Structure formats: C-alpha cells, structure tokens
C-alpha cells in the first residue's frame, strides 16, 4: 500500500483544483455565446448608409447603427445573400462580397452572425422562389451542384474573412419549397436533395454552424407539421426550425394577442415532435404602434424562452432599422426622426 503524506495530499488537491479551474475556463469559452439570441436582420443597412441615411441614438446624437442596436440589447445580426443581385435600392445588393463585409463588421461589434441563403437573385419568400438567372436551363443534377458550389463559395469567403456564422439558413420562408420549379414541395424528393446540398456545403466549411430550415406563419401548427413531416420523411438534414411571425400579415384580425398562444404552442410542438431547437428568425410589428410592437416582442421572447429544455434559441427582428421614410416598409422599429422607437426597447427586457 502506498502511503500518502500530507504534503503529497496537498499537491494532489492543488492539481485537482487547477484541473477543475481549467475545465471550467474551457467550458466558459466554449459556451460564452450560447445565451438567448436577440437579433436584427439588417440587409438594407449598407444601402441606407450609401444613400446618406443618418441614424441617431436615444440621445439624439448621430451614431453607427450597430452601436444603437447593441445599446438596445441586440446581440445577433442576420444577413441575406443573393446570387447575382442588381443594384436596385429596394430589391438589389446583398451580394456575396457585401454580405461578407457586413458579417465582418457585425463580428467587430461583438455580434453573433446568421447567414440567410435565398438561392435567388432577389427576394425569395412564400410568394416567389425564382432560381438565379445563371442557373436557368440547368438540369437537376447541375442544379444540385449549383447549390453546393454557391453555398460552399460563400461559406469559404466568410471563413477566409474570419467569420464563423453561428447559424445558416438553407432557403428563406420556404412553405412551397425553393428554386422553382424543381424544388417545389410538389416534388419533395428533389427539394430534400437541394436542401441537403446546402447543408453538406455548410458543414464541410463550418461544421459548428447550425443549419436552419425556415417556414412562415409561425402560429400555424398544421402548416409546420405538414412541412416538417415531409422534411423528415424525405431525409432533409437540418439542426434548427426557423419561424416567421408577423401578426400584421395574418388573415383576419392582426391583434397579436389572438395568435401569440398559437405561436407558443407551435414552438413547443416543433421542439418535441422533431427533437430540434427552434427560433423565431423573423418578426415585426407596425412602426406607428410602437407600444403594441413592444408588447408583442416581449411576448414572443417569453414564448421562445419557455420552450422546454432550452430549445428556444432566440428572436430576430426583420429590418428594425429600415425606417419607412427610406424603405416604405411599415414594420420597422424606427421613427421619422431617425431614432429607434420604443419597440426596440423590448430586447432590453430580461
């Protein structure tokens, strides 16, 4: 039997404590960005700045939009990317180079980054999923290669720039599919293959990035069950279920209090039914009703945080800085005075 002296025991205790301390330090480093995401999609920001739009903080002083967002609790930036966009102010820009530049800028401000692949030259959403002009006429095997190569290219440029997106979307609001007509939900086997090309390209460059699949009308459980049941049946690969929630665009009464419980129930059901994390990746309310939008945002965050087992990841406002005076968009969180409205304060609520 080996005899352990007090001195030896002290050394063992010291080494144990040092080891434990080091393990905790590593744990903290590895999980420091794992908190609740409070985000802003700001794809218009570059154009707004280029056209001379000025942003002002609560104190009335001109400031960098990133600082204003950060001062209001925003810790995550979502950026869309289009294949070969035009220079049109409303429906253009968001090229690969512009998206990478914005991602670098976001990271310098200490923000987490989400990249949103539309797989189009302009807006892709429930009403349209037009394939990029350069991909027109390609047969399906070539389209699969197009998706992989383009996704890999953008992800590689982000990596070269020192940016590792925490989340990456394969498609934007895809209840009907993406890259029509080949990727329509009328042909789920093909849609799943296109999704998986995006997934594989993302993971090959950035294994830690979580892949999101995104459907609109986050309060509509039947819509989500139908879509994600098909995704599961056909082997579509993903990590996170992304939802849009815009009471303003819902049929009937846009009062969020009539649909917020449905959103919460759907979030819980998605997490339980598919064993995935969930996230509201787009939300917005009327800029002319800042108190109502504030209340809605607080309620949405509460619903996401209430998802069991910490599977509710966060909430992202779509273009909060996209003031109506510049964009004509009615659901920003910015006033005519160039300052954020009270709505943005919702992200300061613990």
Q: Average pLDDT for residues 6-28, to the nearest whole number?
A: 36
pLDDT of residue 23: 35
Q: Average pLDDT for residues 293-321, to the nearest whole number?
A: 98
Q: Average pLDDT for residues 82-93, to the nearest whole number?
A: 87
pLDDT of residue 253: 82
Question: Is 286 one of the annotated active-site residues of the chain?
Answer: no
Question: What is the rounded distance in angstroms from the CA atom of residue 202 to the CA atom of residue 153?
Answer: 10
Of the pLDDT bands very low, low, confident and very high (cuts 50, 70, 90), residue 329 is: very high
pTM over 0.85: yes
Other CB atoms within 10 A of residue 262 CB: 17
pLDDT of residue 34: 64
19 has pLDDT over 90: no
Does domain 37-348 correspond to CATH entry 3.20.20.80?
A: yes
Residue ranges per domain, the chain?
1-30, 37-348
Distances 142 to 28, 124, 194, 317 between C-alpha atoms, Å? 44, 20, 11, 35
The active-site residue, picked from 166, 182, 277, 282, is 282
pLDDT digits 0-9 by tens, 119-162: 999 999 999 999 999 999 999 999 999 999 999 999 999 999 99
Question: What is the rounded distance in angstroms from the CA atom of residue 346 to the CA atom of residue 112?
Answer: 19
pLDDT of residue 30: 32
Question: What is the rounded distance in angstroms from the CA atom of residue 195 to the CA atom of residue 242?
Answer: 14
Question: What is the rounded distance in angstroms from the CA atom of residue 103 to the CA atom of residue 278?
Answer: 23
12 has pLDDT over 70: no
Q: Of 1, 61, 80, 13, which Cα lies nearest the Cα of 316?
A: 80
Between 30 and 282, name the one with better pLDDT: 282
The active-site residue, picked from 173, 182, 286, 319, is 173
Average pLDDT, the chain: 91
pLDDT of residue 22: 37
pLDDT of residue 6: 35
Question: Is 182 one of the annotated active-site residues of the chain?
Answer: no
Question: What is the rounded distance in angstroms from the CA atom of residue 132 to the CA atom of residue 121?
Answer: 5
Place of tokens 């509710």: 312
- Which three-class secondary structure string do you get for the chain? CCCCCHHHHHHHHHHHHHHHHHHHHHHHHHHCCCCCEEEEECCCHHHHHHCCCCCECCCCCECCHHHHHHHCCCCEEEEEECCCCCCCCCCCCCCHHHHHHHHHHHHHCCCEEEEEECCCCCCCECCECECCHHHCCCCHHHHHHHHHHHHHHHHHHHHHCCCCCCEEEECCCCCCECCECCCEHHHHHHHHHHHHHHHHHHHHHCCCCEEEEEECCCCCHHHHHHHHHHHHHCCCCCCEEEEEECHHHCCCCCCHHHCHHHHHHHHHHHHHHHCCEEEEEEECCCCCCHHHHHHHHHHHHHHHHCCHHHCEEEEEEECCCCCHHHHCCCCCCECCCCCECHHHHHHHCC
Q: Average pLDDT for residues 192-208, to the nearest whole number?
A: 98
Q: Average pLDDT for residues 74-96, to the nearest whole number?
A: 92
17 has pLDDT over 90: no
């Amino acid at each position: 039997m080996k005899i352990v002296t007090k001195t030896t025991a002290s050394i063992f205790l010291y080494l144990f404590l040092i080891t434990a301390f080091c393990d905790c330090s590593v744990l903290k480093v590895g999980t420091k960005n794992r908190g609740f995401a409070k985000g802003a999609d700001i794809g218009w920001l570059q154009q707004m700045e280029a056209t001379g739009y000025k942003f002002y903080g609560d104190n009335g002083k001109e400031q960098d939009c990133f600082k204003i967002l950060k001062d209001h609790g925003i810790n995550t930036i979502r950026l869309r990317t289009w294949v070969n966009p035009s220079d049109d102010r409303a429906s253009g820009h968001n090229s690969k180079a512009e998206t990478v530049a914005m991602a670098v800028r976001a990271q310098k401000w200490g923000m987490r980054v989400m990249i949103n692949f539309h797989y189009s030259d302009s807006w892709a959403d429930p009403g349209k999923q037009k394939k990029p002009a350069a991909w027109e006429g390609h047969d399906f095997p070539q389209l699969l290669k197009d998706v992989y190569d383009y996704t890999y290219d953008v992800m590689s440029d982000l990596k070269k720039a020192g940016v590792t997106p925490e989340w990456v979307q394969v498609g934007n609001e895809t209840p009907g599919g993406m890259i029509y007509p080949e990727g329509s939900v009328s042909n789920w086997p093909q849609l799943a293959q296109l999704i998986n090309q995006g997934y594989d390209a993302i993971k090959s460059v950035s294994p830690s990035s979580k892949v999101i699949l995104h459907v609109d009308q986050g309060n509509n459980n039947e819509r989500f069950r139908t879509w994600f049941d098909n995704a599961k049946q056909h082997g579509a690969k993903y990590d996170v279920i992304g939802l849009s929630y815009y009471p303003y665009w819902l049929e009937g009464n846009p009062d969020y209090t009539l649909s917020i419980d449905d959103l919460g129930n759907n979030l819980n059901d998605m997490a339980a039914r598919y064993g995935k994390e969930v996230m509201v990746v787009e939300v917005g309310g009327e800029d002319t009703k800042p108190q109502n939008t504030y209340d809605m945002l607080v309620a949405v965050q509460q619903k996401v945080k209430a998802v069991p087992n910490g599977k509710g990841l966060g909430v992202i406002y779509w273009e909060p800085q996209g003031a109506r005076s510049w964009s004509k968009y009615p659901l920003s969180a910015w006033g005519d005075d160039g300052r954020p409205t009270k709505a943005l304060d919702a992200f300061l609520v613990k």
